[in-house]
Amino acid sequence: MDDATRQQLILAAQEARARAYATYSDFTVGAALLTAEGRFVRGCNVENRSLGLTQCAERVAVGNAVVEGYRDFQALAIASRTGVTPCGACRQVLAEFCADLPILLVQEEPVPETREVSLRLLLPDRFGTDGP
Ligand code: THU
């Protein structure tokens, strides 16, 4: 991923975050997947008054990508106030489509900063039916 694409991916996650529906937690999250074809597919968290029905930004992005015909991904950016890592459930959902994936964690506070991790680092020894 070149520098310009990285910046576009970060911007896409930040734009998605601006659309988050986080009325209960007030913690907005935006995600953007870069597909193998070079497209950006976004997701944001969508909360619900029945709190357990809340959807995370990352899983919304994966669903949006799949329905648009994209299943191969080059990278993911996640934008939030504090630069959180994806939750365990989202890690497993991402692992359905890629053994590894660079993940940019975009934070706003205390200073705007982006940290890079990987899916393999966040979810070692993932569940799979092909055995250990
Ligand atoms: N959230 C995400 O969107 N992605 C994550 O990986 C962690 C949590 C959302 C869910 C909820 O709307 C809010 O952040 C606070 O937990």
Mean per-residue pLDDT pooled into runs of 10, the chain (132 residues):
97 98 98 98 98 98 98 98 98 95 97 98 84 58
Looking at residue 132, its pLDDT comes to: 56
pLDDT at position 126, please? 85
What pLDDT, in 10s, does the model give residues 17-46?
Answer: 999 999 999 999 999 999 999 999 999 999
**What pLDDT does 131 receive?**
59
Tell me if 41 sits within 8 A of 61, measured CB to CB: yes
Which atom of ligand 1 is nearest the CA belonging to 60?
3
Mutate to test the pocket of ligand 1, among 17, 27, 42 (most ligand atoms within 8 A of CB): 27
Q: Give pairs for 81-85: CB < 8 Å, separation 24+.
A: 81/27, 81/28, 81/107, 81/108, 81/109, 82/107, 82/108, 82/109, 83/107, 83/108, 83/113, 83/114, 83/115, 84/29, 85/117, 85/122
Substitution candidate for ligand 1 out of 24, 25, 29 with most atoms within 8 A of CB: 29
At residue 10, the pLDDT reads 98
Q: What is the pLDDT of residue 65?
A: 98
Q: Is the CB of 87 under 6 A from ligand 1?
A: yes
Report the pLDDT value the prediction gives residue 96, as an integer from 0 to 100. Answer: 95
CA distance 64 to 70: 9
Query: From the CB of 47, is ligand 1 less than 6 Å away?
Result: yes
Residue 47 bears catalytic tag: no
DSSP string for residues in 3-59: HHHHHHHHHHHHHHHHT-B-TTT---EEEEEEETTS-EEEEE-B--SSGGG-B-HHH
| Catalytic residue, candidates 15, 37, 47, 58 | 58
